[in-house]
Amino acid sequence: MTTLTADHPTTTTATAAPAPAHAHPVRRRSVDPAARESRFRAAAAAVYAVMGWLLAASATVLAATGQLEFAREAGITDPRQYLVPTILEIAVIFVLLGGYLRACDGDSPALMWLLAVAITGFATWTNLTHGGPQAGRIFAAATVLTFLLWLLKLRDRYRAARRAAGLLDAPTAKFRAIRWLVQPRLTGRAWLIAVEYSLRDADLALARARLWRDTVTDHHDTHPGGRWWARRRAARRAAALAVRAAHLPAPGPAPLPAAALPDPAPTSALASTAPPPVADPAPTVAAPVTSSATAIGELADEPGEHTNGPAGAPDVPEAYTPTSDEDAAMYQAWRDTLAAGREPTGADLARAAGRDNDSSGTGRRAARRYRDAHAAASQAALAGTPSRPNGHHSPAGAHR
């Protein structure tokens, strides 16, 4: 830079300031998207729970005040007027709680919920008739919201409890709306197959639906004669058998009869023959267990000992932790029946739990839980990984 003065010009050079010797780079804190989403979900669940109970309580109080006015208009001015909201609003909550407890025990809550609907309908009518065209609508809406909010909260809680206990069936395959619009018949058949075979993979359900469709088409092409209804029934039957054959695992090789087995070599020949060199064994891969009988056979350590079933029957080891007294009774009956050489039905397990029949499906779901738990325990034993209760096992290398 040149500076002009009165005497003579001078030139100066500007230099930059030296950087500090120990300058550290600025570190930006990285935020894990999964952890952030998990925290947001937990906060949303907490806010939802608190707001749900507050709304339910607010609607209950507002509906109860409407019932107090109904009592005063009916001429009940003594302390008995406070019993009117009790029998019309609080009774709904009582019945809903009863249905919740019945559902947690495995029984159907439909009767209790229908009774709550009837009481809610009568309470809504009383609020509409005494409150007039404006206030009556507000009180009636509060009565309906009281029922809906309490039902929603209790239903979410009992489903969470049953899901934690393994009493809910796994969700079936879901299909997009565009697929229902473009291919309604194929998607409908895939949904029916997914419901029948409890398929959770949509692609697998669609593949079975295409197998159904192709089998029906081929059957019509190869059997052109006969009445149309007989051909249609035969084609659907053939398609159902084809889907069932594709779903069920292929049976293993049948054991050889005793007559076809080679005769054992004499003891002297075995003693004089030098043993061949033993090669390194190849690594084996554990095959998945496809049936409860296979799982139980692989889990039994000492076939000679047994704790249940008739004498001489193979032992059925415990691989499931019951969640209630009823579940323990059904599990013990399941083990005893298997030890006797027979697969128990849902009705057998329901009778073991003290029920007359299995109309609610409790026995069938219990049998499915026990089979899955034993199959998972057997697979974990073959893979060398520790198993967890009720059908959950840790992946290889998780426990070291």
Per-residue pLDDT tens for 267-321?
444 444 445 555 554 444 444 444 444 444 444 444 434 444 444 445 567 778 8
Cβ–Cβ under 8 Å, residues 308 and 336: yes
Report yes or no on 232 lying in a domain.
Answer: yes
Class of residue 58 by CB neighbours under 10 A (exposed 0-12, middle 13-18, buried 19+): middle
If asked whether residues 143 and 183 sit together in one domain, one would say: no
**392, β-bridge pairs:** 388
As a whole number of angstroms, the distance between CA 84 and CA 68 comes to 7
Q: Which residues have CB under 8 Å from 293's CB, separation 6+?
A: 338, 343
pLDDT for 128-177, tens place per residue? 887 667 788 888 888 888 888 888 888 888 777 777 766 666 678 889 99
Report yes or no on 277 lying in a domain.
Answer: no
Share of the chain above pLDDT 70, in %: 68
DSSP SS3 for 78: coil
DSSP string over 241-263: HHHHHHHSPPP-PPPPPGGGSPP
If asked whether residues 105 and 212 sit together in one domain, one would say: no
As a whole number of angstroms, the distance between CA 394 and CA 376 comes to 10
Q: Which residues have CB under 8 Å from 331's CB, separation 6+?
A: 320, 322, 366, 370
As a whole number of angstroms, the distance between CA 353 and CA 59 comes to 40
- For residue 15, the model assigns a pLDDT of 53
If asked whether residues 62 and 128 sit together in one domain, one would say: yes
Report yes or no on 279 lying in a domain.
Answer: no
- State which of 164, 185, 201 marks the end of a domain: 164
If asked whether residues 302 and 376 sit together in one domain, one would say: yes
As a whole number of angstroms, the distance between CA 372 and CA 391 comes to 6
Domain that holds residue 197: 177-247
If asked whether residues 231 and 336 sit together in one domain, one would say: no
Query: Average pLDDT of 195-212?
Result: 90
Q: CA angle at residue 283 from 279 to 287, to 5 degrees?
A: 135
- For residue 106, the model assigns a pLDDT of 73
**pLDDT tops 70 at residue 214:** yes
If asked whether residues 303 and 360 sit together in one domain, one would say: yes
As a whole number of angstroms, the distance between CA 243 and CA 258 comes to 36
Q: Which residues have CB under 8 Å from 282's CB, separation 6+?
A: none
If asked whether residues 50 and 78 sit together in one domain, one would say: yes
- For residue 277, the model assigns a pLDDT of 53
- For residue 146, the model assigns a pLDDT of 87
Report yes or no on 308 lying in a domain.
Answer: yes
Q: Which alpha helices (H) appear in the chain, and where do they start and end?
A: 33-73, 83-85, 91-104, 110-164, 177-182, 184-197, 202-222, 228-247, 267-272, 292-299, 325-339, 346-352, 362-383
If asked whether residues 237 and 320 sit together in one domain, one would say: no
Mean pLDDT, the chain, whole residue set: 74
Report yes or no on 234 lying in a domain.
Answer: yes
Report yes or no on 107 lying in a domain.
Answer: yes
Q: What is the number of domains present in the chain?
A: 3
If asked whether residues 370 and 300 sit together in one domain, one would say: yes
DSSP state of 341: T
pLDDT band at 6 (very low <50, low <70, confident <90, very high): very low
- For residue 253, the model assigns a pLDDT of 57
Q: Distances from the Cα of 32 to the Cαs of 39, 43, 124, 293, in angstroms? A: 11, 17, 50, 45
Query: Average pLDDT of 89-104?
Result: 87
Report yes or no on 347 lying in a domain.
Answer: yes
Query: Average pLDDT of 101-112?
Result: 83
- For residue 180, the model assigns a pLDDT of 92
- For residue 268, the model assigns a pLDDT of 46
If asked whether residues 360 and 303 sit together in one domain, one would say: yes
Instruction: Tell how far CA 271 is from the center of its chain.
Output: 59
pLDDT band at 27 (very low <50, low <70, confident <90, very high): low
If asked whether residues 67 and 111 sit together in one domain, one would say: yes
- State which of 104, 130, 164 marks the end of a domain: 164
- For residue 385, the model assigns a pLDDT of 67
- For residue 72, the model assigns a pLDDT of 84
- For residue 361, the model assigns a pLDDT of 76
- For residue 264, the model assigns a pLDDT of 53
If asked whether residues 322 and 215 sit together in one domain, one would say: no
DSSP SS3 for 393: strand
Report yes or no on 325 lying in a domain.
Answer: yes
- For residue 209, the model assigns a pLDDT of 93
Query: Average pLDDT of 191-200?
Result: 89
